[in-house]
Amino acid sequence: MVAVVFSLLAFEATALGKTRVFRGRVIDFDTKQPLEGAVVVAYWLEAASAPLGEVTRLKEVKECVTDSNGEWSFVGEEGHPHNPYWYLFPLVGFLELYYTRNPNFIIFKPGYETYTPGNPCTFLAYPYVNKKRLLEGIVIEVRENEIAHALKYGKDHTENRLVNSSGEPFFPAESPESKLRLLDIPFDYSEDVRRELVKNNGFYYFRSYTIAGIKKLFTSEQRKKNLSTIAPIYPSDKINMDSFLKKQIQFLKRLDEERKQLGLEGYGYYERVKDEK
């Protein structure tokens, strides 16, 4: 039994450790122009089963700054949407079997709305291809439209996060990534748009070329409210805190600059770690 368990653990560890390229483009939603200098931060949590649920800890942080075309990319661990060790918990519950969750993303540019996992931005679009279901096209989500849809049809929702069981707006298209790169896509859609369930096998944002359209904020009140949704990423126990902070140096810099410009106190982490090697 012990040999079987550890064989399964070795197999799962190999499968879970694979990496992929995360990539996308950030644009001004109103002008449709690329946004240079936006910082994209990804962070990975490890989780393990426990008697009262899951315990988590911070595993990795990466960042990238968009280029003149608004594009960014980096390689990171693919992660897993669910605990692959759940079936082993009754057998080896005394062990902390950590797995890496799918990464979470933050997109931040001073003066613009921020994308976070719990606060999606105005517009998101990504290609979706499923040969078994004969689907090839682009998923497009306009936040205001999805909130209105959820309200009308009684789906579970909050102001910032939607759970829409009727599916996501889907636009059939050949070579969907090419159309995304050219912005040859609709930026709005009607109430009767075709919908397909595409998120049932995990989270798709940024796993393939994803367009994020963010809106400019014009008042200090809007910008201050936006800042309340984000903060530097570091472990809750603050162990090895600086090593994680150094991996998000551009995010820390822009975050403090925006706070100070609005008359708020900066976090001070950028000054703390900027010269560390």
In tens, the pLDDT along 187-221 reads: 999 988 999 888 654 457 898 999 999 999 999 99
Q: Are residues 226 and 210 in the same domain?
A: no
Residues 2 and 77 in one domain: yes
| Tokens encoding 104 | 């979470």
Tell me: do 12 and 83 sit in the same domain.
yes
Query: What is the number of alpha carbons within 13 Å of residue 31 lying toward its C-beta?
Result: 8
Between 29-43, 113-127, 142-156, the lowest mean confidence (pLDDT) is in: 142-156
Between 179 and 118, name the one with better pLDDT: 179
Domain stop point among 214, 238, 266: 214
Share of residues in the chain with pLDDT > 70 (%) = 81
| Mean pLDDT, residues 86-92 | 51
Q: What is the rounded CA–CA span in Å between residue 240 and residue 184?
A: 45
Between 90 and 147, residue with greater pLDDT: 147
Q: What is the pLDDT of residue 154?
A: 62
Confidence of residue 55 (pLDDT cuts 50, 70, 90): confident
How many structural domains compose the chain? 2
Q: Are residues 46 and 162 in the same domain?
A: no
Co-location of 44 and 168 in the same domain:
no
Co-location of 142 and 180 in the same domain: yes
Give me the mean pLDDT over the 47-51 stretch: 78
Residues 236, 198 share a domain: no
Q: Are residues 15 and 88 in the same domain?
A: yes
Domain edge (last residue) among 180, 196, 214: 214
Asked whether residue 210 falls in the same domain as residue 225, the answer is: no
Using the predicted structure, report yes or no on whether residue 6 has a pLDDT greater than 60: no
Q: Between vectors from CA 124 to CA 118 and to CA 129, what angle results, nearest 5°? A: 115
The residue out of 214, 235, 266 marking a domain boundary is 214
Q: What is the pTM of this model?
A: 0.86
Q: How confident is the model at residue 4 (pLDDT cuts 50, 70, 90)?
A: very low
Q: Average pLDDT for residues 261-272, to the nearest whole number?
A: 95
Domain shared by 139 and 268, yes or no = no
Domain that holds residue 24: 1-113+219-277
Residues 142 and 193 in one domain: yes
